[in-house]
Structure 1
């Protein structure tokens, strides 16, 4: 039998914590030293994430419900539900790996100039990673609050990194909104604890079925209030007005790593929805699914309108985050594990794409004149008086730098729109197939009206992304406006190529990856495996460890 190396479960939290602490004690004037330490720590985090991912994959028995007791880490060696636990399963292992894969390109890109734009960039970067990984791995709600606040506190500093009036304004809005979300978090957790007497997720899921009607009403109220806190972070309408401005105002590497932030909210909602309100929840089974479906559809509509209306590339990327979030929330709201499998594939693909797009935007805009987008819109409306001069430019060779940026831009457009043959198409096709064939039986399936709306909006949002990206690409690469060829360093373009290369790898290995997602979604729909694994996790016998 394959057992987890015990410390690998806590390592994704400890490595960035230790790295962030060490970096605080290195003088800010020693930029190169801080960069080397930061890069080494990030690659160690990636190695740990890969190891954890391989372990959770190898310990799953596909023939029966997976008992994940080998992936439960008892902090202080206190048994659940009395002590704090960390839980590593296929879903949390996938999310930790995704965070590490985003961290490498974002950090490398920042070494070109952004890590010098303010103090303590590297420490904040690693502390945010610690909070993100902790939120993915924690097994109790109180610890979730702690990691959530660590993540947010570090993100405040990262968003303000580089200064500037627009960045400060967006940062203040971001801080205020997230402080209110934290208040909702505490209120929801307090109601849940008052009813059940526990915050351990496994123990909580075990107790829900036995609640009386009055207790159940308070529990569901607490869960709804708690859900609001995470829906703010996930970007569900109407709680998402802050997101496009904040993400577009952030520096390029910060916006790239922020692509995982909205997915933290989506992960927590998915975890609590299927664990607490799954098959074992009695009368509360399926609680909140309809709200997620309707809210997700509304978010797609809002995000699609924003994508079509956006003239600035940063805001286009910000609204693309909302389209991605809305699609994932609506997919969870269907309650169909097959749809959830496609949604997991889409989560990884869209996160990598949006992260690459945020990095690419700075390089593309570096060669544009100030106000070029606004001037281009004016010219579209009233025409260009220099048409004769534009005709003389026909046949001019595009510089190599612009050609590379153009190919990357086109790849981002194809991925966001969900066109074949890349991973965005595979993800959307998988979700649409599952929505239109919910039971897998074919002709006898009954598809709800909301499901038809979801199908339409997934297709239409892709069309909107295609229109907006094509329009922006024409203005940027083939417009008649004067601009300069941007000076692009290898250390800046390489992270973008790496992220897009990951989406290409997802396309090539679509079969094995989709099977992994399907198994992950199937096990996620079996809350008893999680409950059993946490409650029965054995304490470590320190005496036997010390014995020869």
Structure 2
């Protein structure tokens, strides 16, 4: 008989789906009620994700499999809970709660059906993390994107609509590529279950392997668009900058959905046991990641607006993670996971903070400040009676949050950004890989990656220092924005989690390293899925999975 806790796996999908349906029953004028329902559901979702994280850690390196309809893999739909899926669900739930608390202050009133779309977005994200087959990955991917289309347009405005329409067009192309890639893979293997595909791919005949790899390449492009790899990332900075502040914060996890899929499928489909296709696509992801870092750091330095600075910071984060995935270096993967959590929390907090900072600013004054910085101010006062500047309490709080975010983005000690980059650089210098070229000495491209990671921190230092001086120290307006406590709380909460990651870096890295080991050795994941038994009713004889029945016969 099945333990009741086994059914918790499907709740991260059912809970937001049910909540979204309930919210549709209430008129938009009952925003307080809808906000309360949404908050209760999101807090419950976070508690559920944390409980699943503890459960996944106890089960590691094995995974827990939920057979929908009691049909065993590879024929039935399966949900798979392992350490990576649990980690991503917790990260998504934390960002969701922070964005929602911030939105309740004012942003949820800017357009209709905000709360319903918000819950559907969480449903799509959690489903993408839990699903065990490619077709349902596409389904949840589309649910996530459909909700994001409405959220990116939330609040209207010319710039938001323009960027939103570009976002929709690009993602519709990505969805088409997704379907084409899945179709090609299915035509060769006859299966869409991820674990089953990992078993079938090594035995694909040589004459069909080109078609298989073509399907893998097309599928990879679809996820690289979402992850923001150069040159497929032209849409990302503008879209994230134009979106409403809480939408930009929750969107910080959307690019990581593409990263998650690549982390999951790359070692599973094209790992060391994939035969002739072993390592397929790794070089493209690796060098594409380094190009993305280079493009992102140039954008960070060139950005005069804080929103675009945050958008290009996402590209730097994505590029670093893509390079870690493409390297095939198991020693880097644990650090990459730690870096992903730290950078995503930091950038989400940055998007929320930017709206508060710019609330008291005038766009014309910002342009004038840039002009003065470039050409100087001819009208300088000869006498200065005042010495020093008195910072109001609100600006002091916002400035303190800005300083912490800057330290995290730069990667300075003692916060989690420094630890993440230190572990990443350590992994590059001490690789764990099956590539024989690495054993002869560190190759040139590894030194190039180290240089790019260091330069990305330097670019963030230049950009954040310049923006901080212009915003808090040499502001031309002197206006203090009106900020509610409920708007500062989620920013402080996200930064406190980064502080907790710093204090508990040892246990956190142990979890990340275990997760990385499971990714690079997916045998436990494959066995857990393919050998998961169907549930027997009381009084029935034991029921085996379809794979087990085949072996018994």
Task: Report SS of the residue matched to 2:76.
Answer: coil
Listed one character per residue, the Cα deviations across residues 43-80 of structure 1 (whole Å, up to 9, x for unaligned) are: 110111011101001112xxxxx332xx1001111010
Please, which moves more after superposition, 206-215 or 368-377? 368-377
CA apart distance, 1:172: 0.3
Backbone CA RMSD of aligned residues? 1.6
Q: Deviations over 1:75-103 (max 9, x none)?
A: 11101001010100000010001101111
CA–CA distance in 1 between the matches of 2:101 and 2:440? 49
Partner in structure 2 of residue 473 of structure 1: 468
| Kept in 1: contact 2:62–2:82 (CA 8 A) | no
Pair 287,98 (structure 1): closer, same or farther in 2 beyond 3 Å: same
For residues 368 and 382 of structure 1, what CA distance do their matches in structure 2 show? 21
Kept in 1, the 8 Å contact 2:331–2:430? The answer is: no
Alignment match of 1:412 (pick from 405, 414, 439): 405
Does the 8 A contact of 2:330 with 2:432 survive in 1? Answer: no
For these two proteins, the number of residue pairs brought into alignment is 536
| 1:130-145 correspondence to structure 2 within 5 Å | 130-145=123-138
- What is the SS of the residue equivalent to 1:72? strand
Measure the CA separation in 1 of the matches of 2:373 and 2:487: 32
Kindly provide the CA deviation profile for residues 353-402 of structure 1, in whole angstroms up to 9, marking residues without a partner as x: 00000000000111112223321110012212343279444323111110
- Residue 245 of structure 1 deviates from its aligned partner by 0.3
What corresponds to 2:12 in structure 1?
Answer: 12
Task: Summarize the alignment of residues 32-181 of structure 1 with structure 2, pairs less than 5 Å apart.
Answer: 32-60=32-60, 66-68=61-63, 71-181=64-174
Q: Does 1:276 align with 2:269?
A: yes
1:63 aligns to what? none
TM-score between both structures, scaled by the size of structure 1: 0.96
Shift of residue 265, structure 1, vs aligned partner? 0.3
1:385-440 per-position Cα deviation (integer Å, ceiling 9, x unaligned): 34327944432311111001001001111100111110000000000011011149
Contact 1:109/1:495, CA 8 A, preserved across alignment: yes
Farther off after superposition, 374-383 or 23-32: 374-383
Q: How does 1:358-507 map to 2 (within 5 A)?
A: 358-388=351-381, 391-439=384-432, 446-507=441-502
Deviation for aligned residue 1:328: 0.2
Written as runs of structure 1 = structure 2, the 5 A alignment for 1:332-343 is: 332-343=325-336
Contact kept, 8 Å, 1:91 with 1:520, in 2: the verdict is: yes
Partners of 1:127 and 1:229 lie apart in 2 by: 21
- Partners of 1:480 and 1:6 in 2: how far apart? 56
- CA distance in 2: counterparts of 1:258 and 1:392, whole angstroms: 47
1:179-214 CA-to-partner distances (Å, cap 9, x unmatched) read 000010000000000000000000010001111112
Counterparts of 1:144 and 1:38, CA distance in 2: 25
Residues 279 and 527 of structure 1 are in contact (CA less than 8 Å); yes or no, is this contact kept in structure 2?
A: no
Q: CA offset at residue 544 of structure 1? A: 5.1
> Unaligned stretches of 5+ in structure 1?
61-65
Alignment partner of 1:263 out of 243, 248, 256: 256
1:472 Cα deviation (Å)?
0.3
The answer (yes or no) to whether the contact 1:184–1:229 under 8 Å persists in 2 is yes
Change (3 A) 1:74 1:439: closer
Distance 1:391 1:193 in 2: 75
Tell me, yes or no, if the aligned pair for 1:328 and 1:347 is still in contact at 8 Å. yes
Tell which deviates more after alignment, 362-371 or 385-394: 385-394
Could you say which residue in structure 2 is the equivalent of 1:344?
337
Q: Retained in 2: the 8 A contact 1:3–1:59?
A: no
Report the CA distance shift for 1:276/1:399 in structure 2 as closer, same or farther (over 3 A). Answer: same
Once the two structures are overlaid, the 10-residue window that deviates more, 373-382 or 255-264, is 373-382
- 3-state SS, counterpart of residue 472 of structure 1: helix
Aligned 1:288-303 pairs, distance under 5 A: 288-303=281-296
Taking the aligned partners of 2:215 and 2:77, their CA distance within structure 1 comes to: 21
Shift in alpha-carbon separation, 1:56–1:4, aligned structure 2, 3 A: farther
Is the 2:415–2:502 Cα contact (8 Å) retained in structure 1? Answer: yes
CA distance in 1, matches of 2:330, 2:439: 19
In structure 1, C-alpha distance between the alignment counterparts of 2:298 and 2:461, rounded to whole Å: 13
Q: Deviations over 1:246-268 (max 9, x none)?
A: 00000000000000000000000
CA distance 1:461–1:152, change in 2 (3 Å): same
Distance 1:388 1:127, change over 3 A: same
Deviations 1:271-328 (A, max 9, x none): 0001111122111111111111100000001101110110010000000000000000
Contact 1:121–1:158 (Cα < 8 Å) also in 2: yes
CA distance in 2, matches of 1:89, 1:519: 11
Name the structure 1 match of 2:549. none
Does the 8 A contact of 2:330 with 2:516 survive in 1? yes
Distance of 2:21 and 2:382 partners within structure 1: 59
- Contact 1:235/1:322 (CA < 8 Å) preserved in 2? yes
Q: Distance in 1 between matches of 2:192 and 2:458?
A: 44
CA contact (8 A) 2:138 2:178 kept: yes
Cα separation, 1, equivalents of 2:151 and 2:125 = 14
Matched, 1:515 2:510: yes
